[in-house]
Structure 1
Amino acid sequence: MVDRLFVYGTLMKGNSLHDKFLSGARFAGYFIADGIQLYDFGNYPLIVQNEIDKVKGELYIVDSNILDKLDISEAKANLFTRKLIKVINDDDEVQEAYVYVYNTSASKNIKVDSDNKPDKEVRRNDFVWYASYGSNLIYERLMIYIKGGKCKFNGVNYEGCRNTSLPKDTRPVTIPYKMYYGNESSPWGSGGISFLDINSRGKSLGRMYLITEEQFEDISRQEGCEENLYNQTISLGDYNGIEIVTITNTNTRPYHDPSDKYLEVLRMGIKETYPDMSDFEVMKYLVQCGSEKR
């Protein structure tokens, strides 16, 4: 019996397990599997099924002997399950193929973008989790800092980062300091903008992005490293072995109420990051960030 097998990591050509298992298989082309997300797992990648992501890989024609050997190897510790999925190539040719899917939670691992080579290891020392708590809660807003261009939220032109690649991952994060509104004027109009009071423990709603250290440097510079802006980088610990960092001011800035425009951007960012929060809960949080500094 002949079957098709879709592979995405160590079984691909030139990788460590290819010759061991697929030396007798026939290469059938490069294909894409929809509804699958690739994660970095240290020495090898893995995939889990979802509804929106995709993975690039290779398709092989295999016989039952190859599948039997792979079933034994991939079934170790009951971590992988062989499933039948549909894959498509650049000519819109659709094929049914088997794939080995990770059947345990991968939420603590790093997502690998579908545009990257699936076997590429994410070098942890090259990345940081940038934790935002102000306007960069909105993904589109952060992308202006990365790609450059005019921000539709405040009308300012930004130069962008030297490395314009997308964040590898993004997820909510709780920041253990109180957020407050400081300074008197900004591109957002007359009013305060978000800072962290590093002398006051609390709970601020944040969103962190997995970006390169260089991108973090470029974003910090565009945010403003001046004495009255974001002149201090602080560490918030680590997630999955990668440091979480954010920026604020060394000293507590003079408190000022934020403009309505800025509050609306914060509201949008929180709703985007925490979709289960009600409108009342969001506004209560934003009001409390101001009232605690009065």
Structure 2
Amino acid sequence: MSLARLARYLRGGVAPGAARAHPGCRDPRPPERSVPVTLPGLLYFATRSPVWGGGRAFYDPGVAEEETPARAHLLTLGQFSDIAAQEMGRAPGRDLALGDGLLRPGGSARLGPGRYETLVCAGELAGLPVLTFTAPWDSGDVPWLAPSAGYLRQLGDGLVEGRGWSPARAAHYLATRPGARGHWDPAAVRALLDTPAEWPAGRGRPWS
């Protein structure tokens, strides 16, 4: 995730191509630091997003032969809780109770039946748990669905900025993920990444 995209979760606002605004977090400060990480598991697209109009990105940690390039942001408990609430369709404002079983690599906690209501610990970094949220199902349990252009561009921007990848490498990776594969080709995704996103000024303006 790019810092510009993360700013929408923390400070509120609408991302380019999205149909809905994020309310933001109680603590809108940027992360203390952000570093590239590689998570064991598969990135795939499924279920229709009312915000982006296509398949959502989910993480399946159970596909051991795959790896997912990502970016770890050092956040407070309150910030992580409020971002998770926004993805779960809940109002931010309440800290999550993170039990010991979740905070170990491979740990998980199901907070509800819906998408993004399952927390998983994908590993550790500098002695801290690497937490994310995903669906309670496995990648093979649901029909895959192609993501929208705006959604792919947000993900691609994050790979280019956070991983230092070329647009061509990011485009090839995204176009070969389940759900996107067969619907998007690398050249089409590359064309999206070559078009700068227009971030409106205001409350959710990206950090400089």
Equivalence for 2:127: 241
CA RMSD after TM alignment: 2.1
**CA apart distance, 1:290:** 2.2
- Does residue 288 (structure 1) correspond to residue 176 (structure 2)? The answer is yes
The residue identity in structure 2 corresponding to 1:255 is: W
1:180–1:293 Cα contact (<8 Å) kept = no
Counterpart residue number, 1:199: 62
Partners in 2 of 1:168 and 1:156 — Cα distance?
Answer: 27
TM-score, normalising length from structure 2?
0.68
Bigger RCO of structures 1 and 2 (CA < 8 A, at least 6 apart): 2
Matches of 1:166 and 1:282, distance apart in 2 = 24
* AA partner of residue 282 (structure 1): A
Contact 2:119 2:132 in 1 (8 A): yes
1:147 paired to 2:11: yes
Q: Deviations over 1:178-221 (max 9, x none)?
A: 000010233111x2110012321211110110000111011001
| 1:227 aligns to 2:113 (yes or no) | yes
* Letter paired with 1:269: G
2:24 aligned residue (154, 157, 160): 160
Picking from 151, 156, 161, the partner of 1:267 is 156
Q: Return the structure number with greater strand share.
A: 1
How far is 1:150 from its partner?
2.9
1:83-103 per-residue CA deviation (whole Å, 9 max, x = no partner) reads xxxxxxxxxxxxxxxxxxxxx
C-alpha displacement at 1:292, in angstroms? 9.1
- Preserved contact between residue 172 and residue 206 of structure 1 (Cα < 8 Å): yes
In the alignment, is residue 212 of structure 1 matched against residue 42 of structure 2?
Answer: no
Deviation at 1:291, TM superposition (A): 6.2
For 1:58-94, what per-residue CA distance to the aligned partner results, in whole angstroms no more than 9, with x for missing partners?
xxxxxxxxxxxxxxxxxxxxxxxxxxxxxxxxxxxxx
Query: SS at the partner of 2:120?
Result: strand
TM-score calculated relative to the size of structure 1:
0.49
Contact residue 170 and residue 209 of structure 1 kept, 8 A: yes
The equivalent residue for 1:257 is 146
Deviation per CA, 1:139-193: give whole Å up to 9, x if none.
Answer: 111111111233334142211111222210001110111000010233111x211
- Cα 1:268–1:293 change in 2 (3 A) is closer
Structure 1 residue 227 displacement after superposition: 3.0
Listed as ranges, the gaps of 5+ residues in structure 2 are 90-111, 183-208
What's the CA shift for 1:258? 0.8
Question: Secondary structure in 2 aligned to 1:157?
Answer: coil
**Percent identity over paired residues:** 29
